[in-house]
Amino acid sequence: MTKCRKLVRALALASFALAPQAAWAQSLEVLKSASCGCCTAWGSHMREAGFTVSEIDLSAAALDAAKAEAGLKPGQTSCHTARIDGYVVEGHVPAREVRRLLAERPDAIGLTVPDMPYGSPGMGEAGADADPYDVLLVRRDGTTEVFASYR
């Protein structure tokens, strides 16, 4: 087998092996309340960014239990909890930060935008009157660090 043919074969096998993982990594499951419009708006933001989004409506108690089970602490939560490729995405996290999380693969629970800052995806228009906010990386020990800032 020639070098060129070996290279083509190796590239074809690599692309075949990576294709299912790449497609799966773009699937996002959103746990939310049935009555929350901003959760649905955030899902739309993620769809527009190319993610496949499935939304699951839960009771408030079940949603709180899912947040705790994910390892989120009080002060780290928002209105919806998403799961993607082994990570948790809590609240109104911009799609580009989710992509960065998936590309960098830090040893962490995931990302959070605590509360519901105005101007974050799904929470009104970003503009001069938008609230500044941080996207926090939640480490496995529960500590956080700033992953990105929006001012």
pLDDT of the chain along its 151 residues, tens only? 555 334 333 333 333 333 333 444 489 999 999 998 999 999 999 999 999 999 999 999 999 999 999 999 999 999 999 999 999 999 999 999 999 999 999 999 999 999 999 999 999 887 888 999 999 999 999 999 999 999 8
pLDDT (0 to 100) of residue 2: 52
CATH number, domain containing residue 69 = 3.40.30
**143 located within any domain:** yes
What is the model's pLDDT at position 26? 87
Asked whether residue 88 is domain-assigned, the answer is yes
Quick one: pLDDT at residue 12?
A: 34
Among residues 150, 52, 55, 70, the alpha carbon closest in space to that of 109 is found at 70
* Within-domain flag for 8: no
Domain assignment of residue 42, given as a range: 24-150
What does the block give as tokens for 94? 């911009």
Q: Per the structure, how many domains does the chain have?
A: 1
Query: Kind and range of the H or E element at 108?
Result: strand 108-113
* Residue 1 located in a structural domain: no
Q: What is the pLDDT of residue 125?
A: 81
Task: Establish if 68 belongs to a structural domain.
Answer: yes
Query: Residue 95 domain-assigned?
Result: yes
Residue 2 lies in a domain: no
For residues 116 and 38, give the distance between their C-alpha atoms in angstroms, rounded to a whole number: 9
CB 102 within 8 A of CB 79: no
Position 118 in a domain: yes
